[in-house]
Amino acid sequence: MDAVILCGGFGKRLAPLTNELPKPMLSVANRPMLDYCFAQLSAHKIFDVTLTLAFMPEKIIEWVSGYSDFSLKYSIEQNPLGTAGGVKNAAKHLGEVFAVISGDGLSDVNLSDMLATHIKSGADVTMAVTQSETPWLYGVVEHSDGYVKEFFEKPKDAFGKRWINTGVYIINKCVLDYVPDNAFFDFSKDLFPLILANGKIGVYKHIGYWNDIGDIVSYHRANMDMISGGLYPFAHNDRSASSELYGSNELSLVSNSASVAGRISRSVIGKRCRICSSSVIRECVVLDGVTVKGRHNNCIISNSAVLPLSEYTVSENAKIFKKSLR
């Protein structure tokens, strides 16, 4: 089985962090999100990988070319094609059955077991689902007997723990016949209703880790979750820089090229950062090349902004709003 990594999004909800960097290249615990994707694929011996690209494709290509163990292909979109449209654009690179994962998502979905479930079920598409306490943020999946019965994309009236779509799929290539050429087409809104009307979508229940990193809050949480390491041993990339754990209790992750003179607790310190002697920071993500002074708690700090998590709230209609500053 080969795989597609979706890397075509603009990451607008993570601005300004993504203004000059494609979202899959934004670091989580001092590694680009893509490192986690390739580690997952490597763990399941999937080495033929196609990346769908749109925003700043050259930065992604430069990075992933350091993965010597993988056979890589690229599908660059001149205009945004959406999730299904992007995969259709890459169809010439794909086998008859392939996996789809997101370049901006972290999970330990067992792709090998998921493939076995897919083959046994005879489904056209198998969707990994997991339970969420905030289902209105995602696609809610109603299922029985191992198959999707109904699918509701970001329903405003969905509350309580529900099964939701993780964006991890195993797909029979023939379903791409439903997808028009060179047109914007979405898996959830456009393709899945067609398959439900004409075929079968299987479900694979995932109980482990999953984070779609769709906004500032989930990005910060991913960094805190990954301080002590990834979900799998990282695939080798000769462009990676090393980091070390720092402290005895609430561990921090510090790049070997950073300088720490202040006090840090449960934070991630990026490459070439300077934490000045007057600084006290806790549960912060400090991105590459930043000099930090003063006290900061529960923040993301880049050269262009300090983003306190206290200024963000999740609304019931699935959007992240920045609170007004006093």
Residue 225: Cβ-neighbour burial (10 angstroms; 0-12, 13-18, 19+): middle
* Two tokens, residue 88: 């259709």
Which residues does residue 53 pair with via DSSP β-bridges, in sequence order?
Answer: 7, 76
SS3 120: helix
Judge whether 22 and 77 are in contact, CB under 8 Å.
Answer: no
**Mean pLDDT for the stretch of residues 111-116:** 98
- Residue 12 sits at φ, ψ, to 5 deg, of -60, -35
Rounded to an integer, the average pLDDT of 92-105 is: 96
Check pLDDT > 70 for residue 316.
Answer: no
Strand partners, 229: none
19 CB neighbour count, 10 Å cutoff: 13
pLDDT digits (tens, 9 = 90+) for 208-244: 999 999 899 999 999 999 999 999 999 888 888 899 9
Contact call for residues 151 and 129 (beta carbons, < 8 A): no
| One-letter identity of residue 306 | V
> What does the alpha-carbon distance between residue 311 and residue 98 come to, in Å, rounded to a whole number?
40
pLDDT of residue 326: 20
Judged against a pLDDT cut of 80, whether residue 323 lies above it is answered with no
pLDDT at 63 over 70: yes
The CATH number fitting domain 2-219, selected from 3.40.640.10, 3.90.550.10, 3.90.230.10, 2.60.120.10? 3.90.550.10
pLDDT digits (tens, 9 = 90+) for 153-202: 888 777 778 999 999 999 999 999 999 999 999 999 999 999 999 999 99
Q: What is the pLDDT of residues 255-298, one digit of tens each?
A: 999 999 999 999 999 999 999 998 999 999 999 999 999 999 99
User: Residue 105, Cβ neighbours under 10 Å: how many?
Assistant: 24
> CA quadruple 208, 213, 214, 215: dihedral positive or negative?
positive
Average pLDDT, the chain: 91
% of the chain beyond a pLDDT of 70:
96
Mean pLDDT of 75-89: 95
71 DSSP β-pair partners: 48
The pLDDT tens digits for 125-135 are: 999 999 998 88
Q: Rounded distance, CA 36 to CA 34, Å?
A: 5
Q: How far is the C-alpha of 243 from the C-alpha of 30, rounded, in Å?
A: 7
What distance in Å separates the CA atoms of residue 83 and residue 185, rounded to the nearest whole number?
A: 7
